[in-house]
Amino acid sequence: MDPTVRSDVAIGAAVAVVQKQDQASGKLTEGVVKRILTKSSHHPHGIKVMLESGIVGRVKEIK
């Protein structure tokens, strides 16, 4: 499963994302995908998603 490919990221999937303010430190936040925000089929920095908690970030790991 590749976090840079939109088709590999599914709604309801458990993921770890990096939030915009955490990009420098690389701190990951875990959660469940509520919405997929990236429209393109691929993004080199990870697909942008909204978690069920409301946090927005780019997927770095798919659990």
Nearest to 56 by CA among 21, 30, 19: 19
What's the structural domain count of the chain?
Answer: 1
Provide the residue range defining the domain that includes 10. 6-62
The mean pLDDT of 6-25, rounded to a whole number, is 97
1 within a domain of the structure (yes/no): no
pLDDT score recorded for residue 59: 98
Mean of the per-residue pLDDT values of the chain: 97
pLDDT in tens, 20-47: 999 999 999 999 999 999 999 999 999 9
What pTM was estimated for this model as a whole?
A: 0.93
Confidence of residue 56 (pLDDT cuts 50, 70, 90): very high
CATH number assigned to the domain comprising residue 54: 2.30.30
